[in-house]
């Protein structure tokens, strides 16, 4: 065992492993997309599927619901989509918005 490996082992014996928070700090941050807002009125199925607990099939149902019923007026309306109940809504509500679609004039 070389000297630097011995120093590392000694440090682990004396100080113990890094606390969990320090271990997380050494890892790269999660993808930015994981925390971006999703506009229910303009998002693609792929963008909706990036929400926690929402799969591709459910995301496609959200897009179909929007196409059939028009734009969402409030984020709570997403619970009208089959597969999205109150628990799912509570998990994703902080990342949802229903801003009007941009129009080019």
Q: In CATH, what number is assigned to the domain containing residue 68? A: 1.10.150.320
pLDDT band at residue 101 under the 50/70/90 scheme: low
Give the domain range for residue 59. 32-97
Q: Give yes or no for a contact between 74 and 98, defined as CB atoms under 8 angstroms apart.
A: yes
Q: What is the number of domains present in the chain?
A: 1
For residues 80 and 78, give the distance between their C-alpha atoms in angstroms, rounded to a whole number: 5
Q: Residue holding tokens 């994981």? A: 34
Domain assignment present for residue 16? The answer is no
Q: For residue 61, what are the contacts with CB-CB under 8 A and spacing of at least 6? A: 81, 82, 83
For 12-66, how does the pLDDT look when each residue is reduced to its tens digit (9 = 90+)? Answer: 666 666 565 554 444 444 444 557 999 999 999 999 999 999 999 999 999 999 9
Query: Considering the domain boundaries, does residue 73 fall inside one?
Result: yes
Is 51 within the bounds of a domain?
yes
């Amino acid at each position: 065992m070389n000297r630097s490996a011995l120093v590392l082992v000694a440090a682990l014996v004396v100080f113990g492993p890094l606390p969990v928070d320090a271990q997380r700090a050494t890892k790269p941050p999660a993808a930015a997309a994981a925390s971006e807002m999703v506009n229910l009125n303009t998002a693609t199925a792929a963008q909706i599927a990036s929400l926690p607990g929402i799969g591709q099939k459910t995301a496609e149902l959200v897009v179909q619901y929007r196409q059939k019923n028009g734009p969402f007026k409030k984020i709570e309306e997403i619970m009208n989509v089959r597969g999205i109940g109150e628990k799912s809504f509570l998990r994703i509500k902080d990342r949802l918005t229903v801003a009007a679609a941009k129009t080019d004039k």
